[in-house]
Amino acid sequence: MLKLISVRLVAILVGLGFAVAVLWAFVIGAYNAATEEPAGHLPYEKPMDLSWSFDGPFGKWDQQQLQRGLKVYDEVCAACHSLKFVAFRDLEQLGYTEGQVKAYAAAKQVPGIDPNTGEATTRPGLPTDYFPSPYPNNVAAAAANNNAIPPDLSLMTKARGDGTNYVASLLMGYGPPSAELLEEHPEAAPGPGLHHNPYFPNLNLAMAAPLNAGQVTFDDGTEATVEQMSKDVAAFLTWTAEPTLVKRKQTGWPVMIFLLFATVLAYMSKKQIWAAVKPKK
């Protein structure tokens, strides 16, 4: 009994100690909050809520769109951004034939070794090769881009919140900062080598607006507006980030339906078994 009392006495003292310590921090924090100007955030915008063919539990890829997106990546983004987790062979999922993929890969130069001298060289790509990086290494990438290394795009739409919308919004969002913004946040003015974009968390990014209307000629005749190209490349990058996305959702349905069925059975079975011992109403 004595021991129990002492355990609880110690506990009460320890508890009060923690509470006093943290409330002391609270008092100081509250005093600081009351006397100091809070550090404001730059007001950046949430990505636009666009609609995508692969949205929702029944979503599917729009292969035409992915093919257009590939073309945008190929002719615009690939100049600076790698796509290192995607292999040429994966492009068959976009509806290309084996021969088309082979030809596409062969048109790319990938790092190789000269079979006679062993020196590093380049060779035409094979379907098993991965998209080559535009720079041999990070140092070269930094040197060519004013120290801002262009990130790999393979996983970009998963590496940002609401990624598909974010990528599309960012690409469409370039433009000079508004006068009101600059008045309220003079620090938001783009510095040298930076470009204003309301969707980028600190409003200024090193990448200049990459897309211009008509820059790409789509094979299916779609007009290459900035909006069209932005959406198409965002859709393509959603596919590169998760090629199994549609398969995942399609696998999910039979699993859910089966589980629902099994759970209903389990419920009825449980009810039957318990009926015997439940009090009669």
Q: Which of residues 180-199 bind another protein (CB under 8 A)?
A: none
Piece of 3-11, 44-52, 183-191, 209-217 that binds another protein (CB under 8 A):
3-11
**Beta pairing, strands 109-113 & 120-124:** antiparallel
236 CB-side CA count, 13 A: 25
Q: Which of 213, 265 has the CB closer to another protein? A: 265
Binding to another protein by residue 258, rule CB under 8 A? yes
Binding to another protein by residue 139, rule CB under 8 A? no
Q: Which of 56, 176 has the CB closer to another protein? A: 56
Minimum Å gap between C-beta 208 and another protein is 22
Binding to another protein by residue 151, rule CB under 8 A? yes
Q: Which of 67, 82, 133, 154 binds another protein (CB under 8 A)?
A: 154
Sign of CA dihedral 23, 29, 34, 39: negative
Which tokens belong to 126?
């094979």
Q: Which of 107, 256 has the CB closer to another protein? A: 256
Binding to another protein by residue 256, rule CB under 8 A? yes
Binding to another protein by residue 85, rule CB under 8 A? yes
Binding to another protein by residue 87, rule CB under 8 A? yes
Q: Which of 43, 252 has the CB closer to another protein? A: 252
Binding to another protein by residue 252, rule CB under 8 A? yes
Q: Which of 16, 79, 113, 120 binds another protein (CB under 8 A)?
A: 16
CA-wise closest residue to 127 among 152, 145, 113, 110: 110
Site for another protein in 94-113 (CB under 8 A): none
CA-wise closest residue to 153 among 218, 235, 208, 95: 235
Binding to another protein by residue 14, rule CB under 8 A? yes
Q: Which of 92, 184 has the CB closer to another protein? A: 92
Binding to another protein by residue 29, rule CB under 8 A? yes
Q: Which of 166, 174 has the CB closer to another protein? A: 166
Q: Which of 201, 213, 214, 217 binds another protein (CB under 8 A)?
A: 201
Q: Which of 154, 228 has the CB closer to another protein? A: 154
Q: How many CB atoms lie within 10 A of CB 12?
A: 10
